[in-house]
């Protein structure tokens, strides 16, 4: 049943008609648990509160199916506004973004132009930017653009996904750049020809890339809600005397809140991924696909009022 639900929600995440309807009708049906409202101001309020609790943040202005230059430039403007607001309010927050939102599917020239604008603002305001990874079909293009930007800017990182067969090689290939990487399991529906189909294999590869990247001496963000992966990371850093300032844990806004506070209380750096915006639908569907318990929460929220 869990696999059926996962496949259903991943299918729905790519449904353009449903995405348009979701934009029209707003943050209903439980999405507010995982999304910090529709506006930048709503997300800034959330960041402030999380910072006061000793938690760090990365924000993401959500966007799906950006297919024209005007919308890509509009998304770029949103990112620059977010960077400037973070700096102005002196918030402990980074920015996360998707290259498709900046025009990746339109042209390489457009996405690079938009990313250069964002990175100029980020450099000026001392805000770190992470390029989120999307599906496998866009993985190489994403890494190529990351490399190009990393040659010019230090305050940029990207994401690698443990469920892809290629990720170990990507870790090795990027090592010469001393990259700041967020390591995740992966949340897209992929073919067995490019990704591990079994969870146990994904988990083992996740552990492998965490250890590799940490032992290479590079900054590592371990983005997971899995207690086994968290415990494994703690063991590795203890065994190899890796300092706490070389890594952090990351979790999604609204998920495992108690675990986030516990890691903070144990002295680890804990960063919360806080998305916002009207284009929340695809993100929300992937969160439901990742964890069936989220479905039960949403149903309770909708029908329990």
Distance (Å, whole) CA 64 – CA 71: 11
pLDDT confidence band for 10 (50 / 70 / 90): low
Mean pLDDT over residues 89-106, rounded? 97
Higher pLDDT, 138 or 4: 138
DSSP string over 47-61: HHHHHHTT-EEEEEE
Sorted by where each starts, the structural domains of the chain and their CATH numbers stand as: 36-279 (3.20.20.220)
Mean pLDDT over residues 136-162, rounded? 98
Backbone φ, ψ for residue 206 (5° rounding): -60, -45
Q: 220 near 175, Cβ under 8 Å? A: no
Burial of 68 (0-12, 13-18, 19+ CB in 10 A): exposed
In this model, does residue 190 exceed pLDDT 70? yes
Hey, what long-range contacts does 38-46 have (CB within 8 A, 24 or more apart)?
Answer: 38/276, 38/277, 38/278, 38/280, 39/276, 40/78, 40/81, 40/82, 40/85, 40/276, 42/276, 43/82, 43/274, 43/276, 44/85, 44/86, 44/89, 44/91, 46/253, 46/274, 46/276
Distance (Å, whole) CA 58 – CA 248: 12
Q: Pick the catalytic residue: 60, 135, 170, 182?
A: 182
**Structure tokens, 277:** 């915006």
Instruction: Render pLDDT for 216-240 as a digit per residue (tens, 0 to 9).
Output: 999 999 999 999 999 999 999 999 9
What count of other Cβ atoms lies within 10 Å of the Cβ of residue 88? 10
Which single residue is written with the structure tokens 């844990």?
Answer: 249
User: Is 182 an active-site residue?
Assistant: yes
Mean pLDDT over residues 123-130, rounded? 98
Instruction: Render pLDDT for 252-295 as a digit per residue (tens, 0 to 9).
Output: 898 899 999 999 999 999 999 999 987 666 666 666 666 555 44
Which residues touch 247 (CB under 8 Å, ≥6 apart)?
A: 214, 219, 220, 221, 222, 233, 237, 269
pLDDT confidence band for 62 (50 / 70 / 90): confident
* Single pTM value for the model: 0.86
User: Is 271 an active-site residue?
Assistant: no
Residue 152 is predicted with a pLDDT of: 97
Distance (Å, whole) CA 261 – CA 268: 10
Q: Pick the catalytic residue: 132, 135, 203, 279?
A: 132
């Amino acid at each position: 049943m869990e696999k059926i639900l996962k496949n259903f929600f991943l299918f729905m995440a790519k449904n353009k008609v449903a995405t348009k309807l979701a934009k029209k009708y707003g943050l209903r049906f439980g999405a507010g648990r995982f999304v910090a409202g529709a506006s930048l101001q709503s997300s800034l309020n959330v960041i402030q509160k999380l910072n006061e609790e000793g938690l760090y943040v990365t924000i993401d202005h959500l966007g799906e199916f950006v297919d024209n230059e005007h919308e890509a430039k509009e998304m770029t403007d949103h990112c620059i506004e977010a960077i400037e607001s973070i700096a102005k309010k002196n918030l402990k927050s980074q920015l996360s973004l998707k290259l498709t939102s900046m025009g990746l599917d339109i042209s390489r020239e457009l996405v690079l132009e938009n990313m250069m604008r964002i990175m100029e603002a980020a450099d000026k305001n001392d805000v770190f930017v992470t390029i989120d990874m999307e599906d496998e079909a866009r993985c190489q293009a994403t890494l190529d653009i990351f490399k190009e930007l990393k040659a010019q800017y230090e305050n940029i990182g990207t994401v690698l996904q443990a469920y892809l067969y290629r990720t170990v090689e990507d870790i090795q290939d990027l090592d010469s750049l001393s990259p700041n990487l967020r390591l995740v399991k992966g949340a897209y529906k992929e073919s067995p020809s490019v990704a591990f189909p079994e969870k146990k294999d994904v988990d083992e590869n996740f552990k492998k890339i965490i250890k590799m990247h940490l032992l290479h001496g590079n900054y590592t963000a371990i983005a997971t809600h899995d207690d086994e992966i968290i415990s494994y990371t703690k063991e590795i850093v203890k065994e190899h005397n890796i300092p706490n300032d070389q890594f952090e844990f990351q979790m999604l806004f609204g998920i495992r809140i108690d675990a986030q506070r516990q890691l903070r209380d144990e002295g680890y750096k804990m960063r919360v991924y806080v998305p916002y915006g009207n284009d929340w639908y695809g993100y929300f569907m992937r969160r439901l696909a990742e964890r069936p318990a989220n479905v039960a929460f949403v149903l309770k929220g909708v029908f329990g009022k």
